A and B are shown apart, each in its own frame.
Chain A
Amino acid sequence: GESVGLHLPTLSVQEGDNSIINCAYSNSASDYFIWYKQESGKGPQFIIDIRSNMDKRQGQRVTVLLNKTVKHLSLQIAATQPGDSAVYFCAENNAGNMLTFGGGTRLMVKP
């Protein structure tokens, strides 16, 4: 079936380095994608989104890249900080207003 998945379940980076979190999706009809951040003991929080008519979108220290050819989504975090330590989820909208979530990648930032 259609699914959203992640390549790396855990990513460990040094403070100050850039982080890249990847996500593969399988539904070519998906037209909207979101990255969420979930800190320990909290609910997921919206980070950044991108529509399928775009390849790149930038926020504050975060960039989302969408490669529709290979159905790949990535989240780049610049100058990773300890506060970035969390689980990151990608999600896709492929049927009306329902999102399908990936399994999550844990980002660990080493001081």
Chain B
Amino acid sequence: DVKVTQSSRYLVKRTGEKVFLECVQDMDHENMFWYRQDPGLGLRLIYFSYDVKMKEKGDIPEGYSVSREKKERFSLILESASTNQTSMYLCASSLVSRIYGYTFGSGTRLTVV
């Protein structure tokens, strides 16, 4: 079964910490995405990547960065975590060649205290 795997289901971090959220997919997908999901705001795109070492800002990139050193792995980095970054973070992947929708990971619930 093909998968998008997020390394942590739940994380609690302190304000000011540097936080790494990891995502790995085994489908050889070119595209990878990071979203945050908040009640009433739906899914908001933070960053996406269409190839190794390539990245594009989404709608809300402020306070975040990403890294894609290998095709299967896409990392989201909170340089200095703040309480307003408490959220559910969802990773997704898709093929470039044909749009069949995204495959999502199970999500990481991040709480910043």
Contact = CB atoms under 8 A, between A and B. Distances in A.
Do these two chains interact?
Answer: yes
Interface of A: 32, 34, 36, 41-46, 49, 89, 91, 93, 96-99, 101-104
> Most B CB atoms within 10 A — which of A43, A91, A96, A99?
A43
A104 B90 contact: no
Interface residues of B, number: 24
Interface of B: 4, 6, 9, 31, 40-43, 48, 90, 92, 94-96, 99-107, 109
A45 B104 contact: yes
Contacts of A45: 104
B42 A49 contact: no
B42 A99 contact: no
Nearest to B40: A103
B74 to A, nearest CB: 14
Given A32-B99, A93-B99, A97-B96, A42 B106 contact: yes
Contacts of A99: 99, 101-102
B93 to A, nearest CB: 11
A89 B43 contact: yes
Contact of A46 (B95, B99, B101, B105): B101
Contacts of B43: 89, 101
A96 B104 CA distance: 19
Contact of B95 (A36, A89, A97): A97
A49 B92 CA distance: 17
